[in-house]
Amino acid sequence: MVDHRGLVYRKEDGGQQIWGELGELPDAFTREPWPGNYHIWKDPTWQFDAESQLSDVKAQVFAERDALLRDAVLRIAPLQYAEDIGDASDQEQLALMEWKLYSVELNRIQHQIGFPTDINWPVMPEPAA
């Protein structure tokens, strides 16, 4: 009788489990250690899933971009209000244009060559004095 007792890995997600029964392992398990993130089971072994990794990298980049855009909106709003009521100084008008340009450039990062692994992030405008 085959003895696979001990540490086994779920093919579904690589999770570890202690197996305590004699005999063959159910098809959902393997004794081959899970190599780590972005590996999926494709009989008879774990294989690296580049598509899954790329998807996660894109999600991280978009989350960073969105956080930067939220910050930009907080900078733009009071400058835009001053512009709307005709009370913006020349310096505030310039700052407003710089923040808007920055926001547009942030929103276009996915069109850069090398996205999502090699991004030329736009430079944040200097805060108004």
What's residue 127's pLDDT?
75
SS3 label, residue 7? strand
What's residue 1's pLDDT?
87
The pTM of this model reads: 0.76
Report, as ranges of residue numbers, the positions in the chain whose pLDDT lies below 50: none
